[in-house]
A and B are shown apart, each in its own frame.
Chain A
């Protein structure tokens, strides 16, 4: 009986580590695509962003995050408004991540730690980015669905991107009476401004 238990725990422990390694390998590949895009001088700024946007949209749980950050306003909205909002949000997310990663593109990094949170079925991967004067840790939260991995949040200096976005969106949504269609206009305008900045 004891032996069976030991084998059982061994398998659980081993498979958990194997799973974390697989997630880290996948994440490293995707991060490298983004960082390589910044290093590729042959790409125009616009094409570089479009490549990064595609990578982010393929690997982030964009729709789920969009719904989460919209909060109350989501329930009240019709299908077409939600669709426009999701498109706007995905671009917004890509602009945010691209802008942040741009700052890290000339630095080296290492995926230092990977833990699987059994309760929430989420893998937490620490990425340490090194500069001449120190380092910063970015934690990626990754969830698996239908044999694919999706990033559900990014944490820098204990600050969650998703929690910050929700707070920010709720503040703006209150100003437009939780009307998602009006908010879409605000988000679209902001995306235009951010897009101009990142591609200039």
Chain B
């Protein structure tokens, strides 16, 4: 009962505070005169940049020392095993994906995701095999951050979370909501197996990191400001996820002029 009250209070407080903070974030605009070719908005509200940069540096070191080597090792596992782990983790996320799709009014997607969960949990042996994909039930990710954005909640300020990486106020609240309402985690805790929760988070991190080893290294090795590059990447990626962009069609298009020397 008390947990329910805490969650409701948290949601209420989040929504209330976001309206105030999001307004200030939305005031940051790019002067169209700054760029000859476009009026694309590229400023990100980052009032705690010095603190964020310090946490980012710490995360970067942790990544180099711990996460990247483990992810590289994981990448050497037989590919069916990697796919199995990825499918299993993805299937565990499915109940909350359905909840968020319903909260966003995506009835059809919610039915499809429920179908995926049922098929993969049974025929797909606890989600190890993505049988649903083969029968046309496509995977779609939705989280509380996206739901809040759909409800009109602004980004809030940019935050770099220790170990968890780039986020913003809205998405951090979404992440906390996920932790509090995830039925799989709740079941593990109720069964006295709370250790499974951090274990699941860690395996998730390794699995995700293993899929972007080359991209992260290319960005890290070639950036004049790696922090700003990651910040921009995070916002672009989230914007596309919120708008449910499957391809690049809705990504802002810089109108580059072609010049010859």
Contacts and interface: CB of A to CB of B under 8 A. Distances in A.
Given A67-B36, A95-B222, A163-B40, A120 B261 contact: no
A133 B211 contact: yes
Interface string B232-260: 11001101110001011101111111111
Contacts of A155: 248, 251
Interface residues of A, number: 62
Contact of A158 (B82, B225, B228, B237): B237
Contacts of B241: 158
A35 interface: no
Q: Which applies to chain A's interface (DSSP): helix, strand, loop or mixed?
A: helix
Given A159-B233, A168-B229, A190 B222 contact: yes
B225 A172 contact: yes
Contacts of B36: 67-68, 74-75
Contact of A167 (B82, B231, B260): B231
A170 B30 CA distance: 11
A104 interface: yes
A61 B254 contact: no
Given A133-B79, A186-B224, A197-B221, A143 B256 contact: yes
Interface string B59-102: 00000000000000000000100110010000000000000000
Given A67-B36, A68-B254, A68-B256, A158 B223 contact: no
B35 interface: yes
A126 to B, nearest CB: 7
A25 interface: no
Contacts of B248: 124, 126, 139, 141, 155, 158, 160
Interface string B181-214: 0000000000000000000000000000001011
Contacts of A122: 253
Contact of B218 (A103, A137, A167): A103
Contacts of B239: 158
